[in-house]
Each structure stands twice: as C-alpha cells, then as structure tokens.
C-alpha cells in the first residue's frame, strides 16, 4: 500500500454566521495518486482546499501532511504544494514567456537547462504562439494555462486543482487531462463539478454535497452508484394541482 501524503480526519468548518461548509470529512490522498472531489457549486470544495492550504482554520478535525499536523506550519505547505485556483490570476504587464521563466528561475534553473524546460513547458501547454503576449491580453482560459505552467515549474509533489478546466475551451480541456495523466509521479487532488471529466483521470472519487461526503470509490464504483434508482419524498402545497400531473406522467406516488 502506498503512503498517504494527505490525511483529512473528521474535518468540519463552521463559519461565524453558523453556516457549516464542511461536515465530518474524511479523505486521504496517496503517493502518485489522483483523487477527485466532485460536487455542485457551494458544496464546500473550495473551503476544503483552503483549509488544506492553511488559509482557513478548521473548526474541528485534523489535516496531516506526510503524517504531520500542518496547522500553523506554512513552511511544509510552501514546500510540498502547488495550488491552481478556480479563478486565474495574471501579471498584466508581463509576457507569458517571462512569467514562466521567472517561475523556473525561482526553482533554481538557469542557462541551457532553463531554456530547455521553458520550451518544453510552452509546448506541453500549447502556449508557444502566446509566448510574447502580455497577461492583460489573455483570455481567462489562457491565463489558466499559464497558471498550470507555473505549477509545473515547481518541484512540489502535491497539486491542488480547484475546477482546473473552468474558463477553458474544449480543445484545451483535452490538453489538461492529457497532462494530468503524464503527472503520475505527483499526487493530485482536484475539485470539480463535472463527473464526466473527473472520471477520466482519477483513481478514486469522493462525492461532496452540502458539505458532506455522501459517496466514495473508484470511477467504476461511483458510476454504478449513480445508476441506482432514487426515491424522492415531497409534500405538495397544492394537491389539486400536482396530482393530475403525476397521474398523467404515470409517476408512482
């Protein structure tokens, strides 16, 4: 069994207004594994990621990185993590190539080695034709690709991706998922609302709804769960109106 790089135990986050964004969450991410946290907008995915990064303090529970409690220890997080947020940031006056070059220099690359890595990164992400374009001229999707380039420049082994394909066109979505499959030496936690995309790359999937994990398993196991019949119970306000509709549609009630 591979070692867990992230262990989340009974994690709960309650905001000051009483809203419970995460409720008793238990998740683990192993070495060289890709897991998906899938849920609708407002399910608590971003809140979960922000707690892992130490940007929010949990109300209850633990977050262990390589078995160590990281609460208050940003050093471990800075060394181990790369974060790609849902809404891409940009450096308006700096060109794409200079942005990526700076990220590589921060990782200690210079000279020929820097140029080789720079060329490969631009090629892998389809950014060659945008190399000399400043950030303010890029679309949201292209800014997202630049963020991926910066993330790949870092030597950190854990990637946290919040809605990685949001604002990205269909062709570039395919590039991102192909890239995920090539990053098998890293551990990746990605949050998304799109099950069809997540199941293509994830080893395991957690379904997050209303702040709670309601299901977990492999892509195949989750797929079988989604095929199960669902029973819905409701109390109509106007029975005279709703009953004829149910009868007409042959709905069991």
- Sign of the four-CA dihedral 186, 168, 149, 39: negative
Structural contact between residues 100 and 153, judged by C-beta atoms closer than 8 angstroms: yes
Determine the Cα–Cα distance for residues 143 and 227; give it in Å rounded to an integer.
37
Question: How much is the pLDDT for 168?
Answer: 83
Residue 26 lies in a domain: yes
Cα separation of 146 and 118, whole Å? 12
Of 203, 192, 196, 201, residue with least CA distance to 223: 196
CA–CA separation, 27 and 200 (whole Å): 20
pLDDT tens for 12-53 read: 999 999 999 999 999 999 999 999 999 999 999 999 999 999
Quote the crossing angle between the two packed helices 140-153 and 111-124, to the nearest 10°: 140
Q: In what order do the strands lie in the sheet with 187-192?
A: 81-84, 158-162, 187-192, 34-38, 204-209, 212-217
The number of domains in the chain is 1
Output the pLDDT for position 99: 92
Residue 1 pLDDT: 66
As a whole number of Å, the CA-based R_g of the chain is 21
The DSSP H or E segment spanning 8 is strand 4-14
Strand (E) or helix (H) holding 28: strand 20-30
The answer to whether 33 and 2 have CB atoms below 8 angstroms apart is yes
Q: Tell me, yes or no, whether 253 lies in a domain.
A: no
**What span, in angstroms and rounded, lies between the C-alpha atoms of 165 and 159?**
15
Full domain range(s) for residue 153: 4-248
169: in domain: yes
The CATH number assigned to the domain holding 194 equals 3.40.50.300
Length of the chain counted residue by residue? 253
Q: How many helices (H) and strands (E) does the chain have?
A: 9, 10
Is 39 a domain residue?
yes
Distance CA 76, CA 131 (A): 32
- pLDDT, mean of each 10-residue run, the chain (253 residues): 90 96 97 94 94 94 90 78 82 89 91 93 90 91 88 86 86 79 83 89 94 92 71 60 64 50
Residue 28: inside a domain, yes or no? yes
The pLDDT of residue 147 is 87
Domain-embedded: residue 50 = yes
Query: Is 218 inside a domain boundary?
Result: yes
- Structure tokens, 154: 């870092």
């Amino acid at each position: 069994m591979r070692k867990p790089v992230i262990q989340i135990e009974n994690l709960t986050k309650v905001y000051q207004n009483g809203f419970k964004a995460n409720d008793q969450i238990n998740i683990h991410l192993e070495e060289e594994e890709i897991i998906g946290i899938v849920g609708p907008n407002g399910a608590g995915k971003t809140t979960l990621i922000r707690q892992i990064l130490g940007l929010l303090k949990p109300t209850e529970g633990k977050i262990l990185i390589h078995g160590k409690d990281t609460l208050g220890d940003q050093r471990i997080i800075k060394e181990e993590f790369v974060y790609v947020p849902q809404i891409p940031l940009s450096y308006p006056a700096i060109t794409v190539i200079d942005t990526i070059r700076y990220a590589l220099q921060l990782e200690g690359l210079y000279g020929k080695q820097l140029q080789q890595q720079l060329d490969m990164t631009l090629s892998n992400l389809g950014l060659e034709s945008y190399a000399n374009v400043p950030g303010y001229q890029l679309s949201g999707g292209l800014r997202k690709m630049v963020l991926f380039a910066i993330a790949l420049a870092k030597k950190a082994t854990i990637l946290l991706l919040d809605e990685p394909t949001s604002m990205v066109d269909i062709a570039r979505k395919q590039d991102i998922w192909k890239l995920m499959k090539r990053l098998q030496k890293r551990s990746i936690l990605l949050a998304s609302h799109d099950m069809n995309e997540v199941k293509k790359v994830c080893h395991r999937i957690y379904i997050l709804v209303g702040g709670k994990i309601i299901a977990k398993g492999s892509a195949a196991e989750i797929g079988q769960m989604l095929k199960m019949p669902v029973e819905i119970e409701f109390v109509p306000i106007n029975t005279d109106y709703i009953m004829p509709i149910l009868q007409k549609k042959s709905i069991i009630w």
